[in-house]
Amino acid sequence: MPVAYQGEAVGKEIQVLDRLRLGFAVLTAKTVTFIVRSLRLGAASVLPGEIASRIQPQLLQLLSSQVQRGVILVAGTNGKTTTSLLLSTILERQGWQVAHNTAGANLENGLITALLESANLIGQLAVDYAILEVDENVVPNVLPAIQPRLILCLNLFRDQLDRYGEVDTISRRWGQTIATLPSETVVIPNADDPTLSYMGQQLTQKVLFFGLNEPEQYLDEIPHAVDSIYCPNCGHGLEYQGVYLSHLGDYHCPSCGFHKGKLAINSQDYPQILIGLYNKYNTLAAVLAAQQLGVDDAIICDTIANFQAAFGRAEELEFNGKKVRILLSKNPVGMNETIRAVNDVGGQTKLLVLNDRTPDGTDVSWIWDVDTEKLVERGGTLVVSGDRVYDMALRLRYSQQGDNGLQLIVEEDLKKAIATALEHTPEDETLHILPTYSAMLEVREVLTGRKIL
């Protein structure tokens, strides 16, 4: 395994001074974690990494290089957490030890904290794999230090442009940095995403595309929340044979001939985890990665069949004897897809919770890019809550095309909103909750009575 070998070589070259500083950094970080947790200040998913990397700036590199079989990096706007969880579950079922960062802690310090968790007191790491989900904008900064064995590029949608630049710029920066990695690095991009397909086609590394081969899943029309329908090569408009979701689909450029990358996996050969077509993509990415690492197909299929959702990602809970399913909805594409999934499974009551805190993005105008009309046209009962409850209610009001008996309930107080939504949920149905990120944590807190952060 060439990359793992390279990792060992780097590990042996660690100088005595570096080792001492590494040990001191790790010890400090572990102390911080201990204090934060024993004082119940939080989960300590970022701070220890921040402190330790001040003591040893090369920490990410020193830790990454010790991961026995290699680091797997998971990047993309949507699906990172679910894909990472599925892949780590598969690898653990194969008998490997896997380190993994907590959801949301996907900036550099969060990655370091995750690796530190698995390190002993002098900074030695004894895991087979580390699966790191990485914020899309941070990818170019951490790639050189991490030297991953596998890179999963799930998708690029518009998300929190208040923090970041543009989708085109991000994919270009990914491509430029990946190009500097060793030739044996395996890159697994989504072929259905034109910018990622283009990026993959330019790389000299080993590139394996995943994507859908299921024309019966085509949407009737291209949704509005679309970022990239222009050829990443020549700028001409792309021609779509069909769209699976957002700008993901089967396409080609009539001008320069650019087309979707050749799939290394047949999507029809595998079932999917959870609900929603977006989870089919997550499944395929994890499966292709697992195959590359030599996992038995039987283990892969069995893990898919028994998969338990990550926090709030199509997660199913029971509350007071009623079934609840939480579908994180944090950006236009994500929410279009959760609405599609909810409409597919049915049920007459939904709860929408819109917050505008830092992890959600402070700008809520994105809800006007969501096709909430598709949710409203089903009628039933819609309960809304969250910091920006009236903004969401206003969006829904403007989604109504004539009177279809829709009941819109506006409730500022989240606990009351949940209680009301449950009351309106018939015994044999599931209440679907569509929250933004911080709202999802709050909803879970109410439903499980526990904080997770």
- Report, in Å, the least distance between residue 162 CB and another protein: 5
CA dihedral 399, 378, 408, 439 (to 10 degrees): -90
Q: Nearer to another protein by C-beta: 317 or 410?
A: 410
- Report, in Å, the least distance between residue 370 CB and another protein: 9
Sheet holding 206-207, edge to edge: 98-100, 129-134, 70-75, 150-153, 186-189, 206-207
- Report, in Å, the least distance between residue 259 CB and another protein: 21
Task: Give 162-166 contacts, CB < 8 A, sequence gap 24+.
Answer: 162/361, 162/362, 162/363, 163/137, 163/361, 164/136, 164/137, 165/137
Which residue bears the tokens 């969060």? 110
CA distances from 71 to 7, 29, 46, 100, 285 (A): 10, 21, 19, 10, 16
- Report, in Å, the least distance between residue 228 CB and another protein: 10
- Report, in Å, the least distance between residue 255 CB and another protein: 14
- Report, in Å, the least distance between residue 358 CB and another protein: 12
- Report, in Å, the least distance between residue 410 CB and another protein: 7
Beta strands per DSSP E along 168-227:
186-189, 206-207
Residue 355: name the closest of 437, 419, 418, 445 by CA.
437
Q: Which two tokens stand for residue 301?
A: 């299929």
- Report, in Å, the least distance between residue 199 CB and another protein: 16
Q: Nearer to another protein by C-beta: 189 or 386?
A: 386
Sheet holding 313-319, edge to edge: 313-319, 322-327, 430-435, 349-353, 381-385, 407-410
Q: Nearer to another protein by C-beta: 54 or 224?
A: 224
Residues that bind another protein (CB under 8 A): 158, 161-162, 166-168, 224, 226, 229-230, 235, 362-369, 388-391, 393-395, 397-398, 410
Q: Nearer to another protein by C-beta: 166 or 316?
A: 166
Q: Nearer to another protein by C-beta: 250 or 371?
A: 371
Contact 192, 260 (CB under 8 A): yes
Q: How many residues does the chain have?
A: 453
- Classify burial at 165, counting beta carbons within 10 Å of its beta carbon; exposed 0-12, middle 13-18, buried 19 or more: exposed
Q: Nearer to another protein by C-beta: 260 or 395?
A: 395
Q: Nearer to another protein by C-beta: 172 or 378?
A: 172
Q: Nearer to another protein by C-beta: 158 or 424?
A: 158
Q: How far apart are CA 350 and CA 348, in angstroms?
A: 7
